[in-house]
Amino acid sequence: MRISIRQLQIIDAIVQTHSYSSAAERLHMTQPAVSMQMKNLESNIGLTLFERKGKHIVLTSAGKEVHRCSHNITVQYDDLLEAIHEIKELHHGRIKVSSATTANHLITQMIANFSKVHTGISVALDITNRQQLLTQLADMEPDIVLMGEPPTTMDVISEKLIPNPLVIIAHLEHPLASQDNIPFTDMEKYDFIIREEGSGTRATIERFFYERQIEFNSNLTMGSNEAIKHAVIAGLGLGIVSLHTLKLELEAEKLIILDVEHFPLQRYWHIVRRKGKHLLPAVAQFQKFMVQEAKRYAEGYQQFLKK
């Protein structure tokens, strides 16, 4: 037994107009087409749905029961069409975003500003390390990923967003705090507080030291940039973090950026998405918004490098 949405819409129209011809006009059909559809439906289900009472077409008792159920279906179908239209028009939608922990400040600010403008679009955010981001991309989970280096071992589409400079930080009383043009080789003398295994920042730093044959000494491993900053402020060692995570601490003069040769170490944040994953209009709009916001965001941090 097969019943089409069009046939259910015809039932609704006949009930509302009490006429095959008026129903046909409402649905932009011909009257013979409406009659044929109802004849086929009644034959298919083995029930008579309409009967004539005077000049009007009315439901039979069986027709009333069928219409009670079918009307709910047509209402839900109309709601579905409206929801699709709303999504296309960017009024509604849900976006899944994943971000590297180093981009926490950037992505949360972008989402907050985006949500003020697009109130009907919800954004689900996951902040995690690089290894987990790669797993999510492989599984095609997020709509958009904000990360450092895009993976080279899977099909992705990436767009360079803004610079993500890594800087060496120290507490205010550190012996290097008042020095300028510190040779990079001097870094062998000090202990560093670094991120956990799987962190993109950690991998970049270790590779940078290794390529220059400088020993990298680490005495503490932390699971977040916030923990590294607190440890540096406490005088437990030097840290290497994204400049974009330091605004509050620098303004409060709780730590200092060291003037070290080769630093800031220039990296970039990239917008990454899996090739082949359908790009919904809401996602495309959010990606466009990220690009617009990024330049203004980056400019706000340049002042700290000029000091």
Q: How confident is the model at residue 141 (pLDDT cuts 50, 70, 90)?
A: confident
Q: How confident is the model at residue 281 (pLDDT cuts 50, 70, 90)?
A: confident
Mean pLDDT of 211-217: 92
Cis peptide before 264 (omega within 30 of 0): yes
Q: Is the pLDDT of residue 101 over 90?
A: no
Lowest mean pLDDT among 42-46, 245-249, 252-256: 245-249
Q: How confident is the model at residue 48 (pLDDT cuts 50, 70, 90)?
A: very high
Average pLDDT of the chain? 89
Q: How confident is the model at residue 105 (pLDDT cuts 50, 70, 90)?
A: confident
Beta strands in the chain (DSSP E): 50-53, 56-59, 93-100, 121-128, 144-147, 156-163, 166-171, 192-195, 218-222, 238-242, 255-257, 268-274
Residue 303's pLDDT is what?
61
Q: Sort residue 299 into left (φ over 0), alpha (ψ -120 to 50) or beta.
A: alpha
Give residue-wise pLDDT tens across range 255-267.
999 999 999 998 8
Residue 251's pLDDT is what?
87
Question: Which residue ranges form the domains of the chain, and what is each CATH number?
Answer: 5-88 (1.10.10.10), 93-163+268-306 (3.40.190.10), 166-257 (3.40.190.10)
Give residue-wise pLDDT tens across range 82-97.
677 666 666 677 889 9
Q: Is the pLDDT of residue 104 over 90?
A: no
Cβ within 8 Å of residue 222, ≥6 positions away: 193, 194, 195, 196, 228, 231
Q: How confident is the model at residue 244 (pLDDT cuts 50, 70, 90)?
A: confident
Q: Is the pLDDT of residue 75 over 60?
A: yes
Q: Which of 223, 164, 166 is nearest to 193 (CA)?
A: 223
Cα separation, 126 vs 143, in Å, equals 11
